[in-house]
Every structure is written in C-alpha cells, then in structure tokens.
Amino acid sequence: MVKALIFDMDGTLFQTNLILEQALEGAFDVLRKNNLWDGDTPIETYREIMGVPLPVVWETLCPSHSLEVREKSNAIFHKKLIELIKNRRGSLYPDVEFVLEKLGADHELYIASNGQIEYLKSIIDTYSLDRFIKKVYSIQSIPSGQKSDLVKMIVSENQITTGAVIGDRLSDIMAAKENGLTAICVNFDFAQEEELKQADKVLDYFIELL
C-alpha cells in the first residue's frame, strides 16, 4: 500500500503573495512602456483567479491582447518571480519544513502545481525541499492543462493507493475527488470561502495537517 500526500505549491507551501505583486508589476511595466496597457496592474484580478492554468491567467488579465503578447508577458513575469525567489524575497508558510519532515517518515510526498517547471525548481532549490519531496510535477507535463489529470498521472506512475491532495483552490479539491483521494484545503492567502466548503477538511494552520 502506497500512502501519498500530493501538495499544491502556490498559496499552500509557498507564500507567493510576498512576491506576486512585484513580479506582476514588472510584466505590466513592460506592457505600459510598449503602449499595450493603460492603467493599474490588475493584481486583485490575479489574486481571485490564482490556481487556474497559466493560459487562463493571461487570457483573463489581458483579454484583448494577442497570444504573442501574453506569452511574452508571462515570460517576463516568471523571470522576475524566479529572481525574487532566489533572492529569498518569498517564504514558505510557517511550519512547512517541520510538517513535511514529519509526514515524510511514513508517506510519499509529491508536488502537483500549475506552476512552470523552472519556477517550481527555483523554490525547491532555494528551500532544499527535495529533502522531503519525492518528485515535483508541473502542469506543463499534461496536454490538457488540468490539475485533475496531473494528479491522475501521479497516482498512476507511483501506484498510489491512498492519500490526499493538499491545496487551496477548487482545482485541488476536484483533483483529489476525481482521483479517489481526500481533499484537504488550507485557508491561506488565495483561498475562497465558497470553494473551501467543498473540501473534506479545511486547515487554518499548516501544522494542523499532522
């Protein structure tokens, strides 16, 4: 029997909110300089949709822009995010390392994230999370771009028989339920009250996971 815990990254293990605004400002500054954006950076819009696939993010933030502009904006955004992470401007949530170490003693730990591979690697490397995490899976490895399909792949590849998905948004909850796993949500920065109602368990503090 393989017991596993599959974690979301942004807003679950990593406090993305600490670097999100600065990185997004950087991307929209470039758009403004090229006369492709007029007005404030839509930071609150991004907070509301946090957890959706990246193409949906940029379709939402820049609905009237071309695919090329969206892709370039995304590249600038991620370059800034990685720079901030490596400079330790972000942070893990309290007790994350302690909890992962404890749980890793009798569970296989994985990450399933909508984040890009290079972005996730920067967090793993900066905080040495490979001490605890068996493997990191990015949404980039799934053609459908759906978190449920990503978790399905993790379950299949690793012959997982029981466990849970720990995240903060509806996509994490559905990924758990559609794959026969327990849906645990953290009530952190990007969590939405209506979505939390669909989880099997809601945590206000990460250490409650123990």
Residue 124 near residue 97, CB atoms below 8 Å: no
Whole-number Å distance between alpha carbons of 163 and 187: 20
**For the chain, what are the domain ranges?**
3-15+92-209, 17-86
Whole-number Å distance between alpha carbons of 62 and 36: 10
Residues above pLDDT 70, as percent of the chain: 100
Whole-number Å distance between alpha carbons of 111 and 145: 15
Q: Torsions phi, psi of 15, nearest 5?
A: -80, 75
Q: What is the mean pLDDT of residues 194-210?
A: 97
Residue 16 burial class via C-beta count within 10 angstroms: exposed 0-12, middle 13-18, buried 19 and up: buried
Higher pLDDT, 56 or 6: 6
Give pLDDT tens digits for 23-62: 999 999 999 999 999 989 999 998 888 877 778 889 999 9
Residue with token string 């609150």: 44
* Amino acid code (one letter) for 80: K
Q: How is domain 3-15+92-209 classified at the CATH fold level? A: Rossmann fold (3.40.50)
